[in-house]
Chain A
Amino acid sequence: MSNPTTPVIEDRTPPPGTRAGRSRGYAADVWYQFRRRRLSMAALTFVVGLTIVAILSPAIVGTKPVICRYRGQIYFPALGYFHDRWENAVFKTRDKFRGVYPKNLTTKDPQSWAVWPLVYQDPYRRVRANEWKDQPANPSGDQGVPSQYNLFGTNQAGIDVFAQMIHGTRVALLVGLFSTGISAIIGVVVGSLAGYFRGWVDVVLSRCIEVVMSIPALVLILALISIFEKTSIWHVMGVLGLTGWTGIARLTRGEFLRLREMDFVVGARAVGASGLRIMFSHILPNATAPILVPVSFGIASAILVESALSFLGFGPPPPNPSWGTVLNAGRSNLQMWWLIVFPGSAIFLTVLAYNLIGEGLQEATDPRLRNNEK
């Protein structure tokens, strides 16, 4: 007999073969759909792998020990690759290691031990003879063919390309995200406001877009580089981001102009949704298609842009191990094929990966694409 105080619970067991429970929510749903596409997942794994390589780069290749114990204390000299000050002064001014760790550690403190990176090479300088066991000095000029000690060869100054590529991954990953991120955010916001509200908002914002678009990017970049004292790659990419949002803005605006007339928007308005809510929850997910392409190309092309700027003489100053600088070193001597092939392949794989992720995102966010039916 049922207890009258027990609430009656409907039988919510779903029939066999259907999905159970509440809806996941937009983001989780997208992720679920994305996970089902094998190629896009492979691409995402690649990018995650690159991120791990970037984080662990001093442990993969470097001339400074990852961990060492010296004179009773534990140090992490390899962190000096991330930031100068993280390499303890003990090795620099006090005990005068002169940048060469292996011999100095053992001679100055026989009790010391160290965990070394997998490959002993440096992205900033040429490794000399007898620094590390019986590793010879890096060849220079055009002699730096890929070899057992220089996996990807060396450039004309004798700096190891493998080290530059690995340490350059940091820059390669972040630079594109940084500049394209800025462009995308500004572009989407401006474009959607202009496209949705129209009227004088559109006039003013369109004029802003035109002003920024009509300023030749080259002038702006060169002017900003020479006016500001700082010319690190982040500043250059920041400038690129601040000048490159106009394309995305116009594309977004076009999409919003088109979509705002559609029925679902009318419906949302009828229900009482506010303008911003309609824009970002209803229209924007449908407007992503044309935006994803410039964004996914933009992330990868930032490296090519950096290389082009180096060609023109406006590249970031050293030390700057990046794929773009390796590529630029190879252009004056095409016979040194390793300077082109390795960064070129890396850029190619990155372009491929980001585009596959973009494609995957597009298909995951668009319900019509899900079942691959045509």
Chain B
Amino acid sequence: MKTAYWIGVGLCVISLWGGCNRNADPPVTDAGLVSEPVTPATTSPPPTKSTDAASTDAEKSVEVSSAPAAKPQFQLGDMLDPFEAPPLAELDAQANWIDRPVSDGIERLRERQANESTFDTVEKALSIRNDSEESNRLICAALGRLPAHESDVDPNAKLVRHTYIDMKSTNPLMQSSVIEQEIAGMTSFGLFSFDWNFQPFASADSVRSWQSSADRMYDKVVMRDDLTWSDGHPITAHDVEFSFKAIMSKAVPALAVRHGTDKIKWVHAYDDHTLVFFHKEPLATNDWNIFFSSIPKHVYEKSIADDPKMQVSDYHVRLENSPVVGGPYRIASRTFAKDVILEARPDYYMHQGKQVRRAPRFQQIRFLIMTDSSVALLAVKRGDIDEFILQPQQWQSQTKDADFYEKCTKAFGVEWVNFHFLWNCKTPYFSDKRVRQAMSYAFDHEELLKTLLYGLYQPCNGMFHHASAWCPPNAAPSYQQNLDRAEELLQQAGWSDSDGDGVLDKQIDGKLIKFEFTVNCADAAERVAICNLLRESLDQIGVKCNVRPLEFTVLTERGTTHAFEAMFAGLGTGTDPDTSDNIFGTGQDRNYGQYSNPEVDRLFAEGRREFDPEKRRVLYQKIHQLTYDDQPFTWLYYRNSYYAFNKDLRGFVFSPRGPYSYSPGIDSLWKPALH
């Protein structure tokens, strides 16, 4: 008995061992040995059972040519079609270059502020409380000014910022969250920027001249020659070309930055300082595709083949901890779950002993990682943190007393992030536009804005903000609750309570379908409360709505696979109205609700090709009008930016993208020198 028992145990162990070592190939669930490159599963049969998108030529050739044990070679830029760049002289001859703006965000802001009034003094702004539109305007105007003289600025100032999440990667190509985007903005090297009106320009800090060809197929950039990486090597056009190819390599997981960059055909560095971007088609949106950060070629070119993820090999791990950067700040230290510290780089603004650029305003910027918003607010009040995003409840009730105003003040600005209910147009409920309009009429917008959102946010009436150029001047106002009208529309669409159970129903294909649906939302308390209000409003007209809070990743997955009936989501604004094509165009990636209107698709396609700003504007205004009519979303509100600032901080300016995600953004902040 006992021996049998032991033999049985032994057999189990052996079979397990054998089973494990069957998969002795390189990693399948990323349990990789450090130096091995990433491989597609070469031992498994060709992907007959997978549901992947068709593999490109490069992938097919890799699979066919490799022996079972060989690792396919990494090919830099294997997502690009091969292209021979024409000689520069030829290009110059045919291109008809048009000069494009090369400027500086701070200078633009200074010009703008020269025409604006401060309303009152800084002392006054620091002494009042922000409890009205008027006081907010005063605070923003007085405290948001750039310094009048450089001597006003404290050169040794330190800035402490707040973040909820930790930084996962310091490589600007691997950005995946907001904090990485912000840090990349401060540490990485980039050529272009845009201002608060979404006008793109080349950054005078890096670029000498920028020209576009008349047919908009080429962009030529001449870089400055006094740029240095933090390891002393000069920044050249070859770095930009290399970065482009790295982004467009399949094995490099540069997920976020690839969007847009993948629309460029080619980038060629003719010499150390001259770059030409080749576009695929002459579109008005070409300007936005060339915004990508660069990584140093001399650092990565040899090592990327072995480790395209740029995070696995020892060499790359060392670089992750102290990367070679080209921006005004370098990463001094990263303490996990605690903070990330950036320090100003003297060799950014000094070149061969002379100052060639404006010095960064802060000696050190520290990102404190605190996951709980109540505790973070306590830290703000104590003066540990200099800037902080306030939740509506915190703005309303926890930042109005003396204990807050002792060290801090607060300000808000309009931000074009809108929140809406998204209807799945292919469900039996929402395929009729009258039903979608009925939903918008049924919802109690006033209760939402006045009560749930404390009166802090503005109503949203469509795709584009009413202050933007793309919104029609006489746009219809946002919906107001009108239950009778909602019921009328539902009745017109064929819904009525035929079986008398209190819930509307309709005969569809011979079956009686009840109007009962589920609205998905992320599992944050405010969002659940808004969906609860929808449930309450619809309950009054006989429509049953169930609220389902989901994790963010599940919410996104349900959206992309269209496995939902309704959802509550938010959308920021893109820099170009064409980014909305991804959301409203038929069959596009982010068109979760499967909305389809051929006229809208046609207008988007036309808008891309229209170079005249006036004519372009009209096209998008029409799109706004059409989508307002169709109501694929029930637009609810714009979430403004509400921030708490330390009283020592100056120079914060709000834009439709918040105070930081544009130029000058964070660069305009400064602290006054103590006299």
Direct touching of A and B (C-beta under 8 Å): yes
Residues of A within 8 A of B (CB): 84-85, 87-89, 92-94, 96, 98-99, 124-126, 140-142, 156-158, 226, 231, 310, 313-315, 317-319, 328-329, 331-335
For B551, what are the chain A residues with a Cβ–Cβ distance below 8 Å? 226, 313
- In angstroms, Cα B497 to Cα A142, docked, is 40
Residues of B within 8 A of A (CB): 373-374, 391, 393-394, 396-398, 447, 451-452, 454, 483, 487, 496-497, 500-504, 523-525, 528-529, 531-532, 535-536, 539-542, 544, 546-551, 554
Min distance, Cβ B517 to any Cβ of chain A, angstroms: 13
Task: Using known A-B contacts A89-B502, A332-B393, determine if residue A319 contacts B524 with beta carbons closer than 8 Å.
Answer: no
Instruction: Tell me if A125 and B397 are in contact (CB < 8 A).
Output: no
- In angstroms, Cα B532 to Cα A157, docked, is 11
For A314, what are the chain B residues with a Cβ–Cβ distance below 8 Å? 523
* Closest B residue by C-beta to A329: B525
Q: Which of B373, B447, B496, B546 has the most CB of A within 10 A?
A: B447
Task: Using known A-B contacts A93-B504, A313-B524, A317-B549, determine if residue A335 contacts B397 with beta carbons closer than 8 Å.
Answer: yes
Known: A140-B451, A140-B452. 18 other contacts (CB 8 A): A88-B502, A89-B497, A89-B501, A92-B502, A92-B542, A93-B541, A94-B500, A156-B393, A157-B452, A226-B551, A313-B523, A313-B551, A318-B535, A319-B535, A329-B525, A332-B394, A333-B398, A335-B397
Name the contact of A318 in the complex, choosing from B487, B503, B547 (C-beta under 8 A): B547
Instruction: Tell me if A158 and B540 are in contact (CB < 8 A).
Output: no
Min distance, Cβ B335 to any Cβ of chain A, angstroms: 25
Min distance, Cβ A332 to any Cβ of chain B, angstroms: 6
- In angstroms, Cα B452 to Cα A156, docked, is 7
Instruction: Tell me if A99 and B540 are in contact (CB < 8 A).
Output: yes
- In angstroms, Cα B551 to Cα A314, docked, is 9
Name the contact of A126 in the complex, choosing from B398, B447, B547 (C-beta under 8 A): B447
For B454, what are the chain A residues with a Cβ–Cβ distance below 8 Å? 140-141
Instruction: Tell me if A332 and B447 are in contact (CB < 8 A).
Output: no
- In angstroms, Cα B554 to Cα A231, docked, is 14
Instruction: Tell me if A318 and B528 are in contact (CB < 8 A).
Output: yes
For A87, what are the chain B residues with a Cβ–Cβ distance below 8 Å? 502
Task: Using known A-B contacts A93-B542, A226-B554, determine if residue A125 contacts B536 with beta carbons closer than 8 Å.
Answer: yes
For A93, what are the chain B residues with a Cβ–Cβ distance below 8 Å? 496-497, 500, 502-504, 541-542
- In angstroms, Cα B528 to Cα A88, docked, is 27
- In angstroms, Cα B554 to Cα A329, docked, is 25
* Closest A residue by C-beta to B377: A332
Task: Using known A-B contacts A93-B502, A317-B549, A333-B393, determine if residue A124 contacts B497 with beta carbons closer than 8 Å.
Answer: no
Min distance, Cβ A153 to any Cβ of chain B, angstroms: 14
For B393, what are the chain A residues with a Cβ–Cβ distance below 8 Å? 141-142, 156, 332-333
* Closest A residue by C-beta to B504: A93
* Closest A residue by C-beta to B452: A157
For A89, what are the chain B residues with a Cβ–Cβ distance below 8 Å? 497, 500-503, 542
- In angstroms, Cα B531 to Cα A335, docked, is 26
For A94, what are the chain B residues with a Cβ–Cβ distance below 8 Å? 497, 500
- In angstroms, Cα B500 to Cα A93, docked, is 8
* Closest A residue by C-beta to B553: A226
* Closest B residue by C-beta to A155: B529
- In angstroms, Cα B540 to Cα A87, docked, is 13
Min distance, Cβ B546 to any Cβ of chain A, angstroms: 7
- In angstroms, Cα B391 to Cα A156, docked, is 13
Min distance, Cβ A216 to any Cβ of chain B, angstroms: 17
For A125, what are the chain B residues with a Cβ–Cβ distance below 8 Å? 536
For A329, what are the chain B residues with a Cβ–Cβ distance below 8 Å? 525
Instruction: Tell me if A332 and B502 are in contact (CB < 8 A).
Output: no
Instruction: Tell me if B397 and A99 are in contact (CB < 8 A).
Output: no
For A157, what are the chain B residues with a Cβ–Cβ distance below 8 Å? 451-452, 529, 532
Task: Using known A-B contacts A94-B500, A317-B549, determine if residue A331 contacts B374 with beta carbons closer than 8 Å.
Answer: yes
Instruction: Tell me if B547 and A317 are in contact (CB < 8 A).
Output: yes
Instruction: Tell me if A328 and B554 are in contact (CB < 8 A).
Output: no
For B374, what are the chain A residues with a Cβ–Cβ distance below 8 Å? 331-332, 334
For A310, what are the chain B residues with a Cβ–Cβ distance below 8 Å? 525
Min distance, Cβ B453 to any Cβ of chain A, angstroms: 10
For A142, what are the chain B residues with a Cβ–Cβ distance below 8 Å? 393, 396-397
For B542, what are the chain A residues with a Cβ–Cβ distance below 8 Å? 89, 92-93
- In angstroms, Cα B550 to Cα A315, docked, is 10
Name the contact of A141 in the complex, choosing from B373, B396, B503, B524 (C-beta under 8 A): B396
Instruction: Tell me if A318 and B532 are in contact (CB < 8 A).
Output: yes
- In angstroms, Cα B447 to Cα A104, docked, is 21
Instruction: Tell me if A85 and B502 are in contact (CB < 8 A).
Output: yes
